[in-house]
Each structure stands twice: as C-alpha cells, then as structure tokens.
Amino acid sequence: MKKFACLASCLFGLMLFSADSNATQDSPWNLAFELGAENDSNVVIEDTDQTSNTDNVNRQLKLALGYKHKTQNNTKMSANYSYFNKDYESVDTYDSDIHLLNVKVSHKFDAVKIGIAALFVDSTLDSEDFVQMKQISPSLSYFFNKTNYFHGSLNLGEKDFAHDDDRSASQRGVSMNLYHLFNGLNHYISAGFKFKDESAIESEYSYNMFEYKLSYVYRSRIFDFPSKLNLSYRLQKRIYEEEFNDDIGDFRHDTRNQLAATYRIDWQQSWYSEFEVTRNLNESNLEAADYDQTKFGFLVGYKLK
C-alpha cells in the first residue's frame, strides 16, 4: 500500500510539472465525494469465485481526485485517483477497499486521436491485501464525422493475488467501441466488443473472454435540473480450455449476462444523486459461478471543480 501511495504521488507530481502557464482559466482540479447504500441479493467476489448465497446491505464511500491539462497543440493529459470502500452489514469477510490511479495522455490529429493510459489498482478484502493490477493501454480514436466515431485500444496488464498466487495472471486484450451521436454527448448509443486472454500461473484459471456490450445514454432536464439516463446490456463468454477442471469433471465454460440502468440528477451547488439497478444472470458448469444477482443502489455526491 505504501508503494502504491508513493507511485500515486510521483505521477501526480509529473502531471503538475507538465502543466504550463498556457492552461485554461478553468481550474484543472476536480474533487468528488460520494456516500451510498446498496442492497445486494447475492454477495459475491468474482475474482475468486466466492458466492455467499445470501442477500445483504452495504454502505459505500468514494473519494475521487482528478487533474487535467490541455496544451495549445491539442495534447491532453489527466491523472485521476479514487478510493472506494464497501462495508457490508453482516458479511464482514466481503468488506473491501480499492485504490485506483489512472493516468492518460492523448493527442488529436484532425480526425484521428492517439493516446496511452496507465491503470494501477490496489485492493484489500476484509482488511487484508487482496489483489493488485497494472495495465497499460495504447489507443486510437477515429472521428468519421460529427455523429459517428470509433475508439479502440490494446490492453496489456498483470494481476497479482496476495494470498492465492496460482490465480496471478498476465492479461492481453483488445477493445473496440463504435458511437453514434444523436445530439453530441447528450444523446447517443454505443456498441462495444472486447477480447481478453488471461494466462494464470495455474492453468486451471486461464481463460479467453469475449464480451459484447450495448449502451444508451440520454441527458435531459427535469424540473430544470440536469439529468442523465444510462441503459446497458452486456454479454460475456469465458472459455477455460487450458486444463481439465477436476471439480466439475469437464472444461469450465461461463456465460454472463448483465442488464444495468443508472439515473443521475445534478442538483444545485455541485450536489448530485444517483440511482442504479443491476441484474446479473450467470451460467456456468462451476457451481460457484452459476448464480443470479440483483443490486439496487443509491448515492449522494458532491463535486467541486
């Protein structure tokens, strides 16, 4: 955790050093604080196939700090740090803390934008070190016109488990998203595809993942307050063919469906609230990964820019 904090400080320092006197007059900093609660019908830890088979309520706390800078030659730089805590009412072993740092640099050439992003994640479970992840993602975006654009990226990463080294893995993948804008970012749809090859130390946990996603976003005003509706559907298939799974007497195969809806309202003086409903329908020949899950969440946040 200390190494992560040191890395975060160094990267933020680098971003500050990169900023020059030509920055815009708007503050490059933003700060957000959120408090929320969620009802979870089936508390799970997806990374280790742990399923509680019981419903529970959790309290959520999130703190996010961001910095962004745009130069006069169309280069953008940003650094974002967030801390997320989830505290369950009666299943303490599922309590978690997540530290996340994301650094991005991009440059736009007319209709083409290239960039690179670095992601660092450090998480604990039940107050003990759980998993660390590092990922670097070069990307390319192409703007066909004012209403359609494409974004694609390569994703190269590593995932290290503190107490289950057999699951530690290297990750290679590609993601592609196509956007159609009806009214800029106020109203659009997107279709996405993602492929990931995860190679774990123990080949039983290695898999190939294919993911397809559809999203719909609509911003409007309700009683003169800005609001945002986000609807999405995700289909994910995981194929484990590296090693025969002795627990199920077969090669493992997972199919995961997710439906999600989020509605946000921005109130006066930087306050906002958000409602979220998520429905997961997972099918697997491994019993621990074969489950349904419904989550209802509500949060109140404050954002200072």
**What does the pLDDT look like over 100-153, one tens digit per residue?**
999 999 999 999 999 999 999 999 999 999 999 999 999 999 999 999 999 999
43-52, 73-82, 200-209, 243-252: least confidently modelled range: 243-252
Q: What is the pLDDT of residue 15?
A: 46
Radius of gyration of the chain (CA): 21
Are 34 and 283 within 8 A, CB to CB? no
Q: What is the pLDDT of residue 111?
A: 94
Nearest to 241, CA basis, from 249, 233, 250: 250
pLDDT at position 52 over 90: no
Helices (H) then strands (E): counts for the chain: 1, 16
237 versus 1: which is more confidently predicted?
237
Q: What is the pLDDT of residue 9?
A: 54
Distance, in Å, from the CA atom of 118 to the CA atom of 80, rounded to the nearest integer, reads: 11
Are 157 and 135 within 8 A, CB to CB? yes
Distance, in Å, from the CA atom of 62 to the CA atom of 33, rounded to the nearest integer, reads: 6
**What does the pLDDT look like over 9-33, one tens digit per residue?**
554 454 444 444 344 457 899 999 9
Distance, in Å, from the CA atom of 252 to the CA atom of 201, rounded to the nearest integer, reads: 17
Q: Which domains does the chain have, with CATH numbers?
A: 2-304 (2.40.160.40)
Question: Is the entire prediction scored with pTM above 0.85?
Answer: yes
Q: Name every residue whose Cβ is closer than 8 Å to that of residue 284 and which is 6 or more positions away in sequence.
A: 252, 253, 254, 255, 290
Q: What is the pLDDT of residue 20?
A: 44
Tokens matching residue 287: 């019993």
pLDDT at position 263 over 50: yes
Are 86 and 103 within 8 A, CB to CB? no
pLDDT at position 247 over 90: no
**What does the pLDDT look like over 159-198, one tens digit per residue?**
999 999 999 999 999 999 999 999 999 999 999 999 999 9
- 228 — pLDDT class (breaks 50, 70, 90): very high
Q: How open is the CA angle 35-40-45, to the nearest 5 degrees?
A: 95
Tokens 């694609």, residue located: 152
Q: What is the pLDDT of residue 268?
A: 83
Nearest to 266, CA basis, from 229, 228, 231: 228
Proportion of the chain above pLDDT 70, given as a percent:
92
Distance, in Å, from the CA atom of 44 to the CA atom of 288, rounded to the nearest integer, reads: 9
Question: At residue 33, what are phi and psi to the nearest 5 degrees?
Answer: -135, 130
Find the mean pLDDT for residues 240-269: 91
Q: What is the pLDDT of residue 205?
A: 93
Q: What is the pLDDT of residue 244?
A: 84
| DSSP string across 176-190 | EEEEEESBTBTEEEE
